[in-house]
Amino acid sequence: MNTLRTVFFMTLLTLVLVGIGGAVGGSGGAFFALVIAAAMNLGSYWFSDKIVIKMYKGKEVNSGLLYEVVQELCQRNNLVMPKVYILPQSTPNAFATGRNPSHAVVAATEGLMQILSREELMGVMAHEMSHVKHRDILIGSIAATIAGAVSWMAHMAQWAAIFGGGDEEGSNPIALFAMAIFAPMAAMLVQMAISRSREYEADRGGARLCGNNPHYLASALRKLEAANQSAPMPKVNEATAHMFIVNPLRGGGFKNLFSTHPPVEERVRRLESMTSF
């Protein structure tokens, strides 16, 4: 179901791009915007492991509890062993990145290591390995590329509305202006929906990797949510917030609409309802 949702939202995001592209610059304009956005996102996708690890001052480990848990998960499920890093942050959290399973990185903060049991740690790292297995970094990068192209076309729509441009004669400047405002917002909402769908799927996939045991991750999520609400991670780059297993930024109210993470209560409820697969 989550995979179908991802396909649906990716299709919807593409239709938003085609719609605004056709209104402003035709198919050629939409394609050009897509190329520009792809060029902007390619570097961050290809070097995501190095960029994010350096940003959070991660240190690679080749032994210890975290490494052993990841190694056990990989051996048990026939997965490629990723590089393992510990981040010097006291707020408990974790993420996975890398352009493919052969160039993957999983990372956990020092705070996460301090508050979770071995079983809970396994649930968290299984979630991250599920992201790696299903190439969610690639999916997120494609979604970001299309959303970026929509934003670029929206800027073109603004200029077209001001100077009377558009793909067709007699284009309505008010309609172009409205499209310039609402198309990027729609693209952002769809992009966030894709991210939330992948989180649900990673929860489910992580439970499978733990021997069909969803309770390890459910227990860990409760602890992580409480810790991040009381003391969010300082100096978080918003562009990387979607990568973490729980939202490292303060949310609530209207902000939840634009959150890359589904509510933890719902994630826990779904996990605990997984009595069979």
Q: Mind listing the pLDDT tens digit for each residue in 75-85?
A: 999 999 999 99
What pLDDT does residue 238 have?
77
The predicted model gives 58-64 an average pLDDT of 96
- 68 in active site: no
User: What pLDDT, in 10s, does the model give residues 14-34?
Assistant: 777 666 666 666 656 667 666
What is this structure's pTM?
Answer: 0.78
On whether 261 is known to bind a ligand per the annotation, the reply is no
The Cα–Cα gap between 54 and 267 comes to 30
The token pair at 186 is: 């729609």
Q: Secondary structure of the chain in the HEC alphabet?
A: CHHHHHHHHHHHHHHHHHHHHHHHCHHHHHHHHHHHHHHHHHHHHHCHHHHHHHHCCCEECCCCHHHHHHHHHHHHHCCCCCEEEEECCCCCCEEEECCCHHHCEEEEEHHHHHHCCHHHHHHHHHHHHHHHHCCHHHHHHHHHHHHHHHHHHHHHHHHHHHHCCCCCCCCCHHHHHHHHHHHHHHHHHHHHHHHHHHHHHHHHHHHHHCCCCCHHHHHHHHHHHHHHHHCCCCCCCHHHHHHECCCCCCCCHHHHHHCCCCCHHHHHHHHHCCCCC
What is the band of 277 on the pLDDT scale with cuts at 50, 70, 90? very low
What pLDDT does residue 178 have?
72
On whether 242 is known to bind a ligand per the annotation, the reply is no
User: Average per-residue pLDDT in the chain?
Assistant: 82
On whether 131 is known to bind a ligand per the annotation, the reply is yes
The one catalytic residue in 120, 128, 201, 225 is: 128
The token pair at 251 is: 């949310």
Which of 132-136, 175-179, 211-215, 241-245 shows the lowest mean pLDDT across its residues? 175-179
User: What pLDDT, in 10s, does the model give residues 131-173?
Assistant: 999 988 877 777 777 777 777 777 777 666 666 555 444 456 6
What pLDDT does residue 154 have?
74
User: What pLDDT, in 10s, does the model give residues 168-197?
Assistant: 444 566 766 676 777 777 777 777 888 888
